[in-house]
Structure 1
Amino acid sequence: MWGQRGEHGGHWGSVPRVRARQLWVSCGVSVGTAEPPVLPHPRPLSPLTPTISRSPRDARPHAMLLAAYASLAALLAAALCLELFSRRQPGPAANPAFARFQHRFLRAYLPALAADWLQGPYLYKLYRHYRFVEGQIAILYVCGFASAVLLGPPAASLVDRLGRRASCVLFSLSCAACCLTKLSRDYLVLAAGRVLGGLATALLFSAFEAWYVHEHVERHDFPAEWLAGTFARAAFWNNVLAVGAGVVATALAEWLGLGPVAPFVAAIPLLALVAVLVLKDWEENRGPPRALAKTCGDGLRCLLADGRVLLLGTVQALFESVVYIFVFLWTPVLDPHGPPLGIVFSSFMAASMLGSALQRVAVSARYRLQPVHLLALAVLLAFLSLFMLTFSTGPGQENPAESFLAFLLLELACGLYFPSMGFLRRKVIPEKERAGVLHWFRVPLNLLACLGLLLLHGSDHRSGTRSIFALCAALMLLALLAVGRLFTVGRHDPELRLPPPQGPPESPEL
């Protein structure tokens, strides 16, 4: 979910720079080569210069500080216990050739994930550090969401034409360039960085997996059933890296006093390592070229022809658009009350990790809960979380502890949601139409997220935040109705249910 996180812009190359300035001015955004409003320092500061302030925020409230660390410790302990409980006995990894191949993939893929996660905790804080107001920051986030719509399908076609290994290297270069733009205070440079981040995210979640699947099946001829083991292992370490990224980001930005740009700079060596390992260890492979118009057309026809696919797309658009808005709002809601943002981010990731572990235990041969039931539970928990936030963020009645708890509940819901939604999508969407269908799923998703942020951009911050959470709660209620309809439609549909158990009750399915 957060790799959305940068997360998860538009095309600037076709817009002349002067016209781009006019567009931003018309949105109420001040841009230019000049710096944002002058900082109250005797000399200009570089992004890496530690800032020393005597504001009341230096005496950060002990309650929120302790809550962040205590939540991280408790959630991480619970998640790791469940992960150990739900892990399979060693299987295909006992094959030496497969173990070497899997290791060769993971040692390049995991640093890429780590670099992506490092950019999550302090993105909003960095923009605030550069003295941009919330409306300007919202527009930057909209750039990222728009780039996901515009660049997603072309990126998938690019991977097949350019080659999967070359596309992984392109990910490293584009993501590193995105991180370097964070050193600039120029608004247009930062907006271009969001576009580069959208391209990097699209490549991260297409090129690496496509390369591995081709090598696994075509070149090495390993059983297709072993794919799930590799991706389950990658998912586990992805969760661990997400938690660790928040701690490392806090250490760099706050404990060492290097400022909010430091995590972005720290991601660059990891991206260089990814490029070196990919070029050194991987062989190139390509897929058959796909016509973009045909892919999107086939996907739309599949979406409209199958009611189950349409309902899944509705749930995804409503749920994930709310998650994207949450990615923007959690920092301005909590940061004024003093918690370390990286530790808060790690707590969120630990809550999501706990939700994923609970989902694996719930669908195991021992308990046999159906994914559609867990999807409904995830949407219900998210609705309760957003309902809490409409009260805890009221102007003059802010309750940061309750907001933090609601955010943790929302992340727990995400941990239940993503694997359940992934299972159902794999069951009802044909493989050959999947890329096109998922593109159409993402269009309303990103449009809703952009609309929410643009509404926030045009409203008073304090009342606007509460209104946006109320709107998100309404969207989640609609998602709950769609899940209920999906449950009714698929009650006797074997495609929406788990297959009969293949192993002993004590070995949960991944």
Structure 2
Amino acid sequence: MELLVYGSFVILSLLAYGARHQANKTSDKKLSVSNANFKGFQRSFFTVYFLALLGDWLQGPYVYKLYAFYQFQEAEIAILYVAGFASSVMFGTCTGPLADLFGRRKATILFTIIYTFCCLTKLSSDFNVLFVGRICGGIATSMLFSTFESWYVYEHSERHGYPVEWIGITFSISTFWNGLLAILAGVLANIGAETLGYGPVAPFVLALIPLVACGFLVVSTWEENYGDRKGNFTSSCMEGLRIIFSNQSILLLGSLQSILETCMYIFVFLWTPVLDSDSTPLGMVFSCFMVCIMIGSSMFTLLEHKGKTAEEILRFALYLVATTMAVCCYTANKNEFIYKVISYVAFLLLEIGIGMYFPSISVLRGQVVPESHRANVMNWFRVPMNCMTCGALLSLKLDTVSKDKRIVFAFCLALACLGIVLSSRFIDLQAKRKTSTRTSVEEEKREAKVSLLEAEES
């Protein structure tokens, strides 16, 4: 298995380089952006955001392994995972409105403090300490995937006034570098776990460095911005929920996000027990997954250049997720080497889909979610995702499910198929909206032309 993982890492890295090279040429032709101010603004955002992502990714490969290292059983490990997702439901929903009301810069500083504490709890083998750490991790994760993006979109559109079309390029680039950072994190975590003498604890200590650096940079370089500050905290929370249910496009987009991210987070728990053996370098497996995310990010840019819309690319990502889950419904419970290889290849396919998903969903959120409540609405999207993920992981306490994980993969397959159906409906709505917008613009032009002619005649 070790030889297969290292070999696939080399091949996938070459594919990722080729795909990104083509995507870069496509991006340059499409945008022709030589705006030095914009590029400087991008760099200031990327420096901070990438440090936060590196701190997050360093923890990824060895979470399950760390709990197993502390002699916890699978059911106990599942409860620790559930604690993180449940905290996202209970507390994470509040982070968006709080960021909008009190400042997104303050929220990012708080993120670094909470996540640093989360890493420190991993030094203890006490279940209760680890449980508290998972709760903090759930809160921090919600903040990572909402406040940074909300801060950037405001600065991009409102403070600097850059074209809205450039937002998609920024998030496509960030998704690619996100994958590159995750590859680096996987390698560093693997080296740390195997050479520093602290086993799977080492990556969590390493994660402290970028998280602390991220906090210092936010304090020294970022300006504060806000969302809607007119209402109080409760009304702000409920306003986000009202926006979701009053707009069918937002509701469908939120459903698609919840579905795909549920599959993704269930996969985060399951890939280690499915692939783990004495010869499996988990850090390098994780790095291979991240190379696939880079490939997916580049494919997003290439498909967009070919005329595909973000919503169509999102549907294609759901097809890849469904294919992976269908394969794992057959292979996941088999211990023979060949079935582990098939599962591994299927997981690589899923990660390519996830790499296409992230820039797609970022672009679509920019199109349909109002900026004033962006962080609030985005965190409401995470509630059903966390509930479904918690339910799936808690089901592992049942002997039937614990002994046959194909049941969980079948649940993910059903979700992905539902997502494909909903994405088709979303594509139809977006097409109608764009047609309506074009018609309105043409009518305004005709009216302006008629007014001009009348003025000339008079």
Q: CA deviation at 1:89?
A: 3.0
1:59-108, Cα deviation, whole Å (9 max, x unpaired): xxxxx111211222222221222212112339797455544444333333
The alignment status of 1:80 with 2:17, answered yes or no, reads: yes
Q: CA deviation at 1:184?
A: 0.5
Check the 8 A contact 1:370/1:497 in 2, yes or no.
no
Name the counterpart of 2:287: 346
CA–CA distance in structure 1, aligned partners of residues 160 and 427 of structure 2: 40
The alignment status of 1:448 with 2:406, answered yes or no, reads: no
CA–CA distance in structure 1, aligned partners of residues 184 and 264 of structure 2: 21
Check the 8 A contact 1:82/1:354 in 2, yes or no.
yes
CA–CA distance in structure 2, aligned partners of residues 337 and 120 of structure 1: 19
Aligned structure 1 segments of 4 or more residues deviating by more than 6 angstroms: 90-93, 495-498
In 2 relative to 1, CA 426–76 (structure 1 residues): closer, same or farther, beyond 3 Å?
same
1:33-58, Cα deviation, whole Å (9 max, x unpaired): xxxxxxxxxxxxxxxxxxxxxxxxxx
Q: CA deviation at 1:312?
A: 2.8
Check the 8 A contact 1:424/1:496 in 2, yes or no.
no
Name the counterpart of 2:75: 135
Q: CA deviation at 1:200?
A: 1.8
The alignment status of 1:389 with 2:328, answered yes or no, reads: yes
Counterpart residue type for residue 343 of structure 1? M
The alignment status of 1:198 with 2:138, answered yes or no, reads: yes
CA–CA distance in structure 1, aligned partners of residues 34 and 6 of structure 2: 38
Q: How does 1:20-419 map to 2 (within 5 A)?
A: 64-87=1-24, 88-89=27-28, 94-216=34-156, 227-289=167-229, 290-336=231-277, 338-364=279-305, 367-394=306-333, 399-419=339-359
Q: CA deviation at 1:395?
A: 5.0
CA–CA distance in structure 2, aligned partners of residues 119 and 94 of structure 1: 37
CA–CA distance in structure 2, aligned partners of residues 282 and 312 of structure 1: 30
Larger mean Cα displacement after TM superposition, 354-363 or 398-407: 398-407
Check the 8 A contact 1:395/1:462 in 2, yes or no.
no
Check the 8 A contact 2:146/2:379 in 1, yes or no.
no
Counterpart residue type for residue 146 of structure 1? A
CA–CA distance in structure 1, aligned partners of residues 436 and 115 of structure 2: 37
Check the 8 A contact 1:117/1:242 in 2, yes or no.
yes
CA–CA distance in structure 2, aligned partners of residues 285 and 493 of structure 1: 30
Check the 8 A contact 1:394/1:462 in 2, yes or no.
no
Q: Report the TM-score when normalising by structure 2.
A: 0.85
CA–CA distance in structure 1, aligned partners of residues 2 and 437 of structure 2: 43
Q: CA deviation at 1:310?
A: 3.2
Check the 8 A contact 1:92/1:98 in 2, yes or no.
no
Q: CA deviation at 1:150?
A: 1.9
1:134-181, Cα deviation, whole Å (9 max, x unpaired): 001111111111111222232123334543333322222111110000
In 2 relative to 1, CA 115–440 (structure 1 residues): closer, same or farther, beyond 3 Å?
closer
Q: How does 1:488-503 map to 2 (within 5 A)?
A: 488-490=428-430, 492-494=432-434
Counterpart residue type for residue 11 of structure 2? A
Check the 8 A contact 1:380/1:480 in 2, yes or no.
yes
Check the 8 A contact 1:174/1:196 in 2, yes or no.
yes
CA–CA distance in structure 2, aligned partners of residues 286 and 434 of structure 1: 10
CA–CA distance in structure 2, aligned partners of residues 460 and 215 of structure 1: 51
In 2 relative to 1, CA 382–105 (structure 1 residues): closer, same or farther, beyond 3 Å?
closer
Q: CA deviation at 1:443?
A: 1.8
CA–CA distance in structure 2, aligned partners of residues 431 and 213 of structure 1: 8
CA–CA distance in structure 2, aligned partners of residues 461 and 83 of structure 1: 40
Q: Is the partner of 1:260 in helix, strand or coil? A: helix
CA–CA distance in structure 1, aligned partners of residues 364 and 226 of structure 2: 28
Name the counterpart of 1:477: 417
Check the 8 A contact 2:97/2:373 in 1, yes or no.
no
Check the 8 A contact 1:297/1:436 in 2, yes or no.
no
Q: Is the partner of 2:43 in helix, strand or coil? A: helix
Larger mean Cα displacement after TM superposition, 201-210 or 88-97: 88-97
Aligned residue pair count: 433
1:324-347, Cα deviation, whole Å (9 max, x unpaired): 110000001111263100100011
CA–CA distance in structure 2, aligned partners of residues 461 and 133 of structure 1: 15
Q: Report the TM-score when normalising by structure 1.
A: 0.77
In 2 relative to 1, CA 368–475 (structure 1 residues): closer, same or farther, beyond 3 Å?
same
In the alignment, structure 2 segments of 5+ residues that lack a partner are 439-458
CA–CA distance in structure 2, aligned partners of residues 176 and 421 of structure 1: 28
Q: How much identity, in percent, do the aligned residues show?
A: 42
- Larger helix percent: 2
1:10-38, Cα deviation, whole Å (9 max, x unpaired): xxxxxxxxxxxxxxxxxxxxxxxxxxxxx
